[in-house]
Amino acid sequence: MRGPHNVIRLIRTGATLERTGAMKVILDAYDAPRLMRMVLRGLVWPFQWLGEKGDTSMPPATRALTALGPAYIKFGQVLSTRPDVVGDDLAVQLRVLQDKLPPFPTEIAKASVREALDLPVSEVFDEFSEPVAAASIAQVHRARLKDTGEAVAVKVLRPGIERAFQRDVDAFYFAADMIEFLSPASRRLKPRDVIAHFEGVVKGELDLRLESASASEFAANTANDAGFRLPDVKWAFSARRVMTMGWAEGVPLGDNAALDAAGHDRRALGERVLQLFLSHALRDGFFHADMHQGNLKVAANGDIIAYDFGIMGYIDEYTRRVYAEILFGFIQRDYKRVAEVHFEAGYVPGDRDVDEFARALRAVGEPIFGMDASQISMGRLLSYLFEVTERFGMETRTELILLQRTMVVVEGVARSLSPHLNIWEVAKPIVEDYIKQSIGPRAVLRDLTKTARVLARFGPRLPGMVEAMLIRQSELDTPQKKSKPQLWWVLWLLVGVLLGGGAGLLFAAV
């Protein structure tokens, strides 16, 4: 229920951060000004007794986020991939949130499996281990199938996770409403839409049947990707709250010492992670949207193994072209074209100056072009990007939130593997290849073919559609208006459909 009672929840959030010491850690990580520190801590200090105490054996930030609940943990998982933003020490602390949270008892997990599969655990599995990984939504057990002897991973949702997650989201909605009410300027960022998007994404994680379907589709798309593989879904032993997949044997991608000991080339792994993400996003429009270190392993032969497919991203073909053109423009340092693409896609209001926007983008791109990851301050870069979006009235694009978030996470993973990675050089071949395939003569011909198929499907209905439109227009005509111009308008529309459909796609392609 979204109402003023959520004020208490938000007060407890601040109080928990203060009581656990996380408030100071976070402010230190962001090098917050002294005045900001005094104001924030002064506001929450009197209420810290209302905060959760948390697990005192954990570092402050991890302790606070785990005490606050699953939605806060998700936020911490994103920050854990960005040592350049929150600092190395805090990033290492937050990495615990990826797969090393306190587990729930194995007996409860077995009961969930029995209820979901309608079979006793002993009839399905010969072995069923204690939890080997525990995250915000679920935990994983290693097991062995009774029929085949195959090692599998059994993922089980946390008890009561749906209610706990909804409680957090309700508070987030209330906070978004307050932000929009108190700061009209913030409405361009669409706080409520962002929370709604977040809610929809995580609700998808709460039905493991959907995750199984996503894993199956992703596996089909990436079957031919060199150096990348996925464990297979065991559909017979999966349900809404339980998912069974083949066991992924390998070194965790976040354990640099173990990777080095196994003889893996971390720079090559960092490049491959980034290129795989770009390939999946641009080529397929369907990508793993939770690619942090806790969901990636490296097999003995060097293959990257991905798992945990609860959050997957989808972008349509047009958006992929826009995204590729923006990336390619930055790589080519063609800031005017990058600016034009933003205007063409409607990301920047049409009444703004395209040349001025291009200059603002140049101020973003030039200082970091050619630099390796260790030389770029993502904190300062993101701060300036926020200023640019505010100055040019850019609204939040909820359809791009997952893409942007995942790009930040993947770049952070690549940076953690190889701090001197040059992301522009790594991205260039993937983006160039997509540009060649999607924006050129072949792509135009392919688009025209699609248009012709659509027109062929509607062809027999066109006369009836035109007649219905004419009747509708005649009903709307006033005595001062004549029907003849309306007839010409309809005929011109029909010609536009027949001839201009392909031209519209042609202009979109180039």
Give the residue numbers marked as catalytic.
290
DSSP for residue 375: G
Pairing relation of β-strands 296-298 and 304-306? antiparallel
Cβ–Cβ contacts within 10 Å for residue 192, how many? 16
How far is 91 from 347, CA to CA, in rounded Å?
32
Q: Do the Cβ atoms of 388 and 184 come closer than 8 Å?
A: no
Helix, strand, or coil (residue 206) = coil
8 A C-beta contact, residue 338 and residue 326? yes
Q: Which of 376, 378, 323 is nearest to 347 (CA)?
A: 323
- Vertex 29 angle, CA 23 and 35, to 5°: 65
**Which residue in 67, 89, 62, 90 sits closest to 15, CA to CA?**
67
DSSP assignment letter at 481: S
Q: In whole angstroms, how large is the CA radius of gyration of the chain?
A: 26
User: Of 421, 437, 401, which Cα lies nearest the Cα of 324?
Assistant: 437
Closest CA to 420 of 380, 371, 384: 371
Residue linked to tokens 């301050």: 377
Q: d(Cα 350, Cα 344) in Å, to the nearest integer?
A: 9
Separation between Cα atoms, residue 380 and residue 93, nearest integer Å: 22
Which residue type sits at 45?
W
Look at residue 102 and give its three-state secondary structure.
Answer: coil
Would you give the distance in Å from CA 459 to the centre of its chain? 40
Helix (H) or strand (E) holding 315: none
Q: Is the dihedral of CA 78, 82, 88, 90 positive or negative?
A: negative
Identify the bridge partners of residue 152 per DSSP, sorted by sequence position: 143, 246
Distance CA 18, CA 489 (A): 65
CA 325 to each of CA 94, 257, 434, 439: distance values in angstroms, whole numbers, following the listed order: 34, 38, 10, 9
Distance CA 299, CA 258 (A): 12
